[in-house]
């Protein structure tokens, strides 16, 4: 997809933030098709404009970004090409990280992101990848891999995965990129991408962000086994 065709909705209750993001994105050839100052407006804007990506503030008065994200993704099934959602916040807190990803977000950014990183993030999630910075993944590990947490039983759906796919998913859950996965497993990046695509397809997951959540929720990885999937 060309950069000219990339369409974005910006949802934030601060006008200066919306304006700043619009200027940054448009300077990079990315079209901002609508702005919203609250969750209800964001849902309506997405229904009206059908964007590729939504930049969604988590904390907004009224309907917050998490619930707005749930409604947006509930409105559109996989066949409808739902927009990718990047959550925006000034708070680098793990409960928001997990809640955003569990709601279906494909990425998570702090509002002090650099212009270059913002544009790159929008392009990245539009390709179907997930924006998973190592610091964000580490917080997920800290939340779900506590030593005192009871081990979850591996979900029956994981039986559909091959041993290699389970290995890839476990490493993916630690935040490894395709290049890092390829180096670790001594595979080509193309082969890694194929494994990831098959994992997403077999488990009916939207993207890598959902795969990370699923890896912990199903018990595929847990404390002491983050490096070695079960």
**Looking at the predicted structure, is the pLDDT value of residue 164 above 80?**
yes
Residues 125, 189: Cα–Cα separation, whole Å: 18
Residues 124, 133: Cα–Cα separation, whole Å: 12
Helix residue ranges per DSSP H, the chain: 15-27, 39-49, 65-75, 94-102, 115-126, 134-144, 163-172, 178-185, 189-203, 208-217
Q: Are residues 32 and 75 in the same domain?
A: yes
Farthest-apart Cα atoms in the chain, separation? 50
Residue 160 lies in domain = 144-217
- More confident of the two residues 230 and 59: 59
pLDDT of 114-152, one tens digit each? 898 899 889 888 876 666 655 566 666 666 555 454 444
pLDDT of 54-92, one tens digit each? 999 998 988 999 999 999 988 765 556 789 999 888 876
Residues 60, 11: Cα–Cα separation, whole Å: 9
> Does a structural domain hold residue 137?
no
Q: Are residues 113 and 171 in the same domain?
A: no
Last residue of a domain, one of 102, 131, 160: 131
Q: Are residues 114 and 172 in the same domain?
A: no
> Does a structural domain hold residue 50?
yes
pLDDT of 166-199, one tens digit each? 999 988 887 777 888 899 999 998 999 899 999 9
**Displacement of CA 203 from its chain's centroid (Å):** 16
Look at residue 143 in the predicted model and tell me its pLDDT: 62
């Amino acid at each position: 997809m060309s950069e000219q065709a990339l369409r974005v909705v910006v949802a934030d209750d601060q006008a200066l933030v919306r304006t700043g993001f619009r200027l940054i994105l448009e300077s990079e050839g990315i079209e901002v098709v609508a702005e919203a100052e609250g969750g209800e407006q964001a849902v309506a804007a997405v229904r009206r404009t059908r964007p590729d990506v939504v930049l969604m503030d988590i904390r907004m008065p009224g309907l917050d970004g998490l619930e707005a994200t749930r409604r947006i993704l509930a409105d559109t099934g996989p066949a409808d090409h739902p927009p990718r959602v990047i959550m925006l916040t000034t708070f680098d807190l793990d409960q928001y990280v997990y809640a955003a990803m569990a709601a279906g977000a494909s990425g998570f950014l702090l509002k002090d992101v650099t212009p270059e990183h913002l544009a790159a993030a929008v392009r990245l999630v539009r390709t179907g990848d997930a924006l998973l910075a190592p610091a964000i993944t580490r917080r997920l590990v800290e939340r779900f891999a506590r030593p005192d947490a009871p081990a979850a039983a591996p979900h029956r759906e994981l039986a559909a995965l091959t041993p290699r796919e389970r290995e890839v998913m476990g490493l993916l859950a630690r935040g490894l990129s395709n290049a890092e996965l390829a180096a670790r497993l001594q595979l080509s990046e193309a082969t890694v991408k194929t494994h990831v695509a098959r994992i997403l397809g077999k488990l009916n997951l939207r993207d890598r962000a959902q795969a990370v959540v699923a890896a912990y929720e199903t018990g595929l990885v847990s404390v002491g086994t983050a490096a070695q999937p079960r």
